[in-house]
Structure 1
Amino acid sequence: MPLLRLLCATLLLAAAAHACRDGGTSGEPPPAGGGGGGGGDGGGDGGGGGGAPTTPGWIERARENFEGGALPASAFAPDPVPDDGPFSDGGAYFTSRGVTPPAAFRATQPFGKDGWLTVESYSRRGDARLADHAEVVADPAGGANHVLRLRSQQHTDGTVVRPTAPLPSRYRVSLRAGFPAFGDGEAGGNNGYDAGDETAGPWWPEERAASQNGFYWLTILDALPRPHNNTWIHHHRKVVIDSDNHHPAWMETWTGDEFVWSGEHPIMMIALDGSRPGDVKTGNAFFSWSNGAWQPSGAIRAVDAYLPDRWYRVTIERDGPRYTLEVSGTFRYGGEGTYRAEIDAAQRCVWHYPVDAAEAAGAAGCVDEGAFVEGHPRWPAGGAWPDWFMFGDPHVNYYEGEVYYDDVVLEVWRD
C-alpha cells in the first residue's frame, strides 16, 4: 500500500507540471488582452465569460478621453428659444415682466462612442463656430495628452456638455477639470471680463455681470441641461460642484482654521434645499459642505479654494436617494487631498430628488404646491425628475473665460 500511494503521488505531480508548461493553472494572471475584458472608450461590462456569476459593483458604461480627434462639426442655427419652463429665456416669468429674449444662435452636437455625450453652445454672434466654444486641444499641463477646452469669449456665450440620455437611478460620474480662467474675485480688476461694465440683460439688465464669474465643475440638474439665463439654471439644480469668483465677497471659505470672507477661487459643494420655497430670482437656498460638515441651510460656505494651474478629479455618485460629492487635488488652504460629502436626499428634501414613482411616494414631506408662476407648482405631489449631469458654463448672461476637462467616465451599478 505505501508503494501504491507513492506511485499515485508521483503521477499527480507529473500531471500538474505538464499543465503549468501548457499555460494551465499556474497562478499567474492571463496575458493582457486575453479572456473577459472589453470596454474601450465605450466602456463595457468585462465579465468572466462562460456563464460565470458576476460580482455586484460598479461597472464602466462609457468613457471619453478626447484622444479621438476633433469634435464633429456643427453649424449654429437661429435660437428656437426652447420652452423649458417658466424661467427659460422666453418663459412665462420673464414675458410677464416684459422681457424679450435676444436674437441668438445655438449649436448642438452629439459626440463620443455611440454619441453618448452632447455639447450645446449658445452665442449672440451670427458668425460663431462650435470650435470657438468647444475644442479638443493639447493638455495645458504639457505632454501628449488631449483634453476638451470650453470657452466663453463673451459673457453672453454659454457651452455645456451633458449625457445624451438621462442618467439611470444609480450611477457614478467622474471627470478631470482644471486650469480655469474665469476671473479671480479680486478687488480693482475686471474679474476676467473684457470691459468690466457688462450687464446680465435682458433678463436682469440692472445687474452688473462682471461682479461674478465662474463655471461648473460638475452638477446634477432635474431637466435637460443647456445654456440659459442664470435664473433658469438656479431653479433646476439638485447637487452642485461649482465656482463663482466675485467681489465684494458674499460667501465664506474655510481655511483649515477659520471661515474668512472671500470670493477668490472658491470651490462650492452644495445640495439644494427643497424644504422651503427659495427665491424667485436665485432659486433655492442650499446646504454647503465645509469644515467637514453640512452647514445650515442658507449659509454660503466654500470647502476650499482652487489653484488655477492644476487638474482636479471631480465625482458625483447616486446610490438610491443618497448623493456623494467628491473633489480631489491640491487646494489653496488644505494642500493635496480629497473632500468628500454624502447627503441623504430624502431626509433633507434635496430639490427634486425623486427620479421615479417609488422615490416620489417617499417624498410627501417635501411637496410644495405653491408656485412662483401660476400653473407651475414648485414640488407637485408625485413629481419625479430624472438626473442629468452637466459641466461647463451654462449662463448666457454671466461668466466669461475658459476651462479644461478630460477623462469623463460614467459608471452604473450591476447587481
Structure 2
Amino acid sequence: MSAGLPAAGSASERTGPWVLMAQENFDRPLRVDGEPWRLDPQGPRSPWHVDAFDDDGEAWTKISGPLFKKQLDTLNVFRKRVAFGRDGWLTAEVAAVDKDRDGRPDSRPGLSNASLPGGHKVARISEPSWDAGVLIRPTRPLPPRYRVEMTLRGIDFGGKRHGTWDYNGRHNGYTREPCKTRYPWTFQGALPGKTRCQYPDVTKENGFYYLTILDYANPAPHGNPGIHYRRKVIMDGYYSDDERWKNAGTCNPKTGKIYRTFDGTFNGVNALFVRGDMFREAANNNISNEYYIKTACGNVSMDKPYGPGGRFKQHLTSAELQPQLLPKASYRFAVERDSTGYTLEMSGPFLHTGQTTLRVHHDFVEDGRPIWHYNQTPGEYDGRFDRRLVHKGPAGTYITKHSWPKGSAYPDSFIIGDPHLNYYEGQAYVDDIRLYVPSNAR
C-alpha cells in the first residue's frame, strides 16, 4: 500500500475481493483554478522532467540539431501541480503554452467543481485550447495490487454528434481558429523549413484518456510523442477521420462482428495492452510501442491485418459511447492489477448493446508477449525484453541503448484527461474516482 493513502473503509465499502482505500466524489471545493501559474524551467532540474523524450529532451536535439532549440525558444510552458482529495491522495496537473512569451499562458485550462442537473457534484476538466493539457493522477504511485476506477458523466472532446463533425460552432470539438498544429513536437523532431502554422494540423484528431496506466510516478501534460513511450495499458478515446485510419475497425460487442470505424459515430473506446516486444518504427520513429487488443470480437495485434479476409488494419475499437445519454447515464472505467497481469473494464450503455460490462485481461507476459514495463520492482523482471532502439531525424540519430534493462523498475500511475500539450481540446465531467486494494492485503 502506498504511503499517505487514507485508511480502509468499512465492510460496506468492499467490492468483491477489493477493499476501498481512497475515494474522491468532488463534493468539496477544488482550488486548482485559483492557484498561481509556475513557469516550467525545463531541463533535468525541472520538477516536470521525465526523460530524453520530454518537452526539451535530449532525443529531440540529437535528431533535430539546433533547429529544435530555436523552435522551443519561441514559447514557454506554464504549469500548476495541485494536490487535492482526502490527505491529498490525488494531484491535478495543468499546463498551457505561452506562444508569444508575454509571461502568461495563452489559454486557461483547469479543473473545477460543477453541478449536474439535480445538484450532483462532479469535476469539470476544461481545455478551451489545444495548446494545453489537464490531468488527474495519484499523488503517489499505485500499490502492487489494486483496482482503480472513475465515472464519466459528460464528454465533449470531439467525435461526431448527430452524424456530423460540425456542431456548437466547432469542428471535431475544436474552435475554428487557424494554425492549430503539432508545433514543435513531432515523432521525427523539428521539421526543417516549416513555420508553426505549416506544421501538421491537429484538428482531425481529438481525444481523451478515460483511464490509462503510465510507467512513472509524476505524469503531467507534455508534447505529444513522449507519452507513447510511457504507457502500460490504455483506455482512451481517439476521434479521427484521418485517411490513415480508413481501414480501422470497431467491435459490435452484441454480435461479435467488426465494422469500419468510418461507418460508426467516432465515439469509441480503445482498450489497449501496450506490447513490450514490438515498436512502431515507421509510423512513430520507435518512440511508440505496438498494441495488443482484446475485444468481444476477438484479439488482434495492431501490426497485422485482422477480420474477415484481413480487411481491417490499425486500431480495433472495443465499443462506442453514446455521449448524448450523459449525464442521465454514465460510464465507469476501471483498471485492475493482480498477481498475474492487468484487467481493463468498462461499463455503461454502449452503442448496440445497451447497459453492459466489458472486461479483458492480459497476463504480464502472455504467449511470450509482455506488457511494456509491467514490473514495479527489479525482481519481477529478468531483462529478457531489453533492446536497442534507433530514432532518426532530419539532423541526426538518437539511440536508446537499453529500452528495458535488467534491474529496472517502473511504478504504476494512472491518468485521466489530456496529457498532450499540442493536441486535443474540449471538456469532460468526471466523478467518483476510487482506489481499491485486495481485501487480503489489509
Q: Give me the TM-score of the superposition, normalised by structure 1.
A: 0.82
SS in 2 for 1:174: strand
SS in 1 for 2:403: strand
Q: In the alignment, is residue 71 of structure 1 matched against residue 51 of structure 2?
A: no
Structure 1 partner of 2:110: 133
- For the residues of structure 1 that align with 2:126 and 2:374, how far apart are their CA atoms? 30
1:288-327 equivalence runs, <5 A? 288-298=293-303, 299-309=314-324, 310=326, 311-327=330-346
CA contact (8 A) 1:265 1:305 kept: yes
CA spacing shift, 1:374–1:395, aligned 2, 3 Å? same
State the 1:80 CA deviation. Answer: 2.2
RMSD: 2.6
State the 1:130 CA deviation. Answer: 10
1:98-133: per-residue Cα shift (whole Å, max 9, x none)?
323321200110001111100010012555599841
State the 1:43 CA deviation. Answer: 5.1
Structure 2 partner of 1:28: none
CA contact (8 A) 1:289 1:302 kept: no
1:283-341: per-residue Cα shift (whole Å, max 9, x none)?
01101232343312434100111111322011000002410000000112222211111
Structure 2 partner of 1:34: none
- For the residues of structure 2 that align with 1:93 and 1:187, how far apart are their CA atoms? 40
Q: In the alignment, is residue 120 of structure 1 matched against residue 84 of structure 2?
A: no
State the 1:77 CA deviation. Answer: 1.1
Structure 2 partner of 1:37: none
State the 1:79 CA deviation. Answer: 1.7
1:202-260: per-residue Cα shift (whole Å, max 9, x none)?
11363211110011000000012110111111110100000011113613112333321
Structure 2 partner of 1:38: none
Structure 2 partner of 1:411: 436
Counterpart of 2:68, as a letter, is V
CA contact (8 A) 2:158 2:173 kept: yes
- For the residues of structure 2 that align with 1:246 and 1:293, how far apart are their CA atoms? 23
- For the residues of structure 1 that align with 2:151 and 2:107, how far apart are their CA atoms? 22
CA spacing shift, 1:188–1:259, aligned 2, 3 Å? closer
State the 1:83 CA deviation. Answer: 2.7
1:110-259 equivalence runs, <5 A? 110-125=83-98, 126-127=103-104, 132-139=109-116, 142-184=117-159, 189=166, 190-195=171-176, 197=178, 198-204=180-186, 206-223=199-216, 224-248=218-242, 250=245, 251-255=248-252, 256=255, 257-259=257-259
> How high is the sequence identity, in percent, across the aligned residues?
30
- For the residues of structure 1 that align with 2:151 and 2:357, how far apart are their CA atoms? 13
CA contact (8 A) 1:75 1:129 kept: no
Counterpart of 1:308, as a letter, is P
- For the residues of structure 2 that align with 1:178 and 1:285, how far apart are their CA atoms? 31
Aligned length: 366
State the 1:187 CA deviation. Answer: 6.8
1:32-71 equivalence runs, <5 A? 42=6, 44-46=8-10, 57-71=17-31
Counterpart of 1:300, as a letter, is H
1:256-287: per-residue Cα shift (whole Å, max 9, x none)?
33321327111100011111233344601101
SS in 1 for 2:130: coil
Counterpart of 2:96, as a letter, is S
Structure 2 partner of 1:99: 68
- For the residues of structure 1 that align with 2:154 and 2:9, how far apart are their CA atoms? 33
- For the residues of structure 2 that align with 1:335 and 1:109, how far apart are their CA atoms? 37
CA spacing shift, 1:394–1:268, aligned 2, 3 Å? same
1:353-374: per-residue Cα shift (whole Å, max 9, x none)?
111122113xx43222445433
- For the residues of structure 2 that align with 1:195 and 1:147, how far apart are their CA atoms? 28
CA spacing shift, 1:129–1:261, aligned 2, 3 Å? closer
Counterpart of 1:137, as a letter, is A
CA contact (8 A) 1:187 1:248 kept: no
CA contact (8 A) 1:227 1:395 kept: yes
1:145-198: per-residue Cα shift (whole Å, max 9, x none)?
110111111000101011011011101101101311111157764211112641
